Amino acid sequence: MKKALAERTAARQGREIKPETRFREVAGRWLASLENAVDAGTRSPTTLEQYRSNLDCHVLPALGELRVGHEVTVPAVDAFLQALRTAKSVSVAKTSRSVVSGVMGLAVRHGALAQNPTRDTARLERRRRKKPRALTLEERDQWLAQLEADEKARRWDLPDLSRFMLATGVRIGEALAVYWPELDLDDSAVEVDHTVVRVKGKGLIRKSTKSEHGDRTLPLPSWAVEMLRQRREDADDPDGPLFPDSLGGLRDPSNVRRVLRETRGSEGFAWVTSHVFRKTAATILDEAGLTARLIADQLGHSRPSMTQDVYMARTTMSRAAATALEGAFTDGSS
């Protein structure tokens, strides 16, 4: 009773969000604040679209009519997330958890409740992550030969796009966002500081990369420089994208991924996605002896552990550890 009276007193003090306020109304306010952050350049428009979609499709149908101070409890949120994990996936449930946490965090800041209920929900465990797979040297040669023989793949620039992504380790959106003025062929380097995304109501745009670590200048191997020199000679717009669409504008990463799936074949390369080139580049650098920090810088990661766990396909046995351990005992044996 004391808690209820305290909440009523707080509500009478003119707070915009009260314990009786429906989750749907608070969600609207939270989404508006996220839109303002996007306009200010502090949040990504793709994050906004992802959260908006998740909110509309999953969160509001389940929690929209509940009162934030009385009914959006730890058991209610936990049951929702676990059911969503089972029905959809861990990634969808984790996004929903972020959305609910953001909405309820706003309610907490307005005094509608004392603590965010998402903090005490059970962890959303993933299944064991598949080992990253990279293209071998032989597979890389076969892949390019297959694309070069496919008219549609050539029309969509997939052979050269594959080469560029292997040469740099960039994401497909980053590769499609590079413009010719950001390329220095004399110095064999390229600036990577944008990515291509589709935003509802705006279409394709170039936005800044995910973080300060995403803004980077990358050296280019000689074979990539020669490929790009030839492309520049054939380019219609010397100030446009390296890999433009048929009208000279930005290419949609989703459409390029679709064509990649259509031209990779059903046998041999059915497992290849655009991210495989990124993993392959990381694995090549790892096998060459570069440190995890240098490889993380190449890929635009802030944490080398992320690079090691997700992007390096380490399947080759090395005798270096056994050699180092040979001297574990004075007589060379146990």
Residue-wise pLDDT tens digits, 151-200: 999 999 999 999 999 999 999 999 999 999 999 999 999 999 899 988 87
Classify residue 320: in a domain, yes or no.
no
Could you tell me if 108 and 145 lie in one domain? no
Name the nearest CA neighbour of 23 among 87, 117, 90: 117
CA 206, 209, 210, 211 torsion-angle sign: negative
How far apart are alpha carbons 108 and 118 in whole angstroms? 12
pLDDT band, residue 317 (cuts 50/70/90): very low
User: Residue 113 domain-assigned?
Assistant: yes
Full-model pTM: 0.71
In a domain, 238, yes or no: yes
Residue 51 domain-assigned? yes
Distance CA 166, CA 163 (A): 5
DSSP annotation of 218? E
| Residue of 330 and 280 predicted with greater confidence | 280
Distance CA(329)–CA(334), nearest Å, equals 7
Asked whether residue 105 falls in the same domain as residue 210, the answer is no
Q: Are 168 and 292 within one domain?
A: yes
CA dist., res. 304 & res. 297, Å (int): 8
Residue 215 and residue 90 share a domain: no
The CATH number for 192's domain is: 1.10.443.10
What share of the chain has pLDDT > 70, as a percent? Answer: 82
Token pair belonging to 259: 């064509």
CA 255 – CA 241 distance, rounded (Å): 16
From CA 177, how far away is CA 86, in angstroms rounded?
A: 37
Domain check: are 244 and 110 in the same one? no
pLDDT at 237 over 80: yes
166 and 286, same domain (yes or no): yes
> Domain boundary residue among 65, 95, 120?
120
The average pLDDT across 61-68 equals 96
255 and 158 fall within a common domain = yes
Domain containing residue 178: 137-311
Q: Answer yes or no: is 306 within a domain.
A: yes
- Tens digits of residue pLDDT in 100-116: 999 999 999 999 999 99
Containing H/E element for 205? strand 203-208
Read off the DSSP letter of residue 22. Answer: B
Q: What are phi and psi of 238, to 5 degrees?
A: -70, -10
Let me know whether 64 and 153 are in one domain.
Answer: no
Q: Which of 267, 245, 265 is nearest to 254 (CA)?
A: 245
267 lies in the same domain as 149:
yes
Say if residue 311's pLDDT is above 60: no
Count how many domains the chain has.
2
Q: Rounded to whole angstroms, what are the CA distances from 333 to 22, 29, 217?
A: 71, 69, 50
Question: CA 235 to CA 178: how far, in whole Å?
Answer: 14
Residue 295 belongs to some domain of the structure: yes
Give the whole-angstrom CA distance, residue 253 versus residue 274.
10
> Would residue 129 count as lying in a domain?
no
Residues 101 and 177 both lie in one domain? no
Domain match, 161 and 283 both: yes
What is the band of 287 on the pLDDT scale with cuts at 50, 70, 90? confident
- The amino acid at residue 217 is T
Averaged confidence pLDDT in the chain: 86
> Is residue 151 domain-resident?
yes
Residue with tokens 């944008």: 194
Phi-psi sector, 157: left (phi>0), alpha (psi -120 to 50), beta: left
Assigned token pair, 229: 């020199």
Q: Could you tell me the CATH number of the domain that includes residue 78?
A: 1.10.150.130
Pair (250, 301) in one structural domain: yes
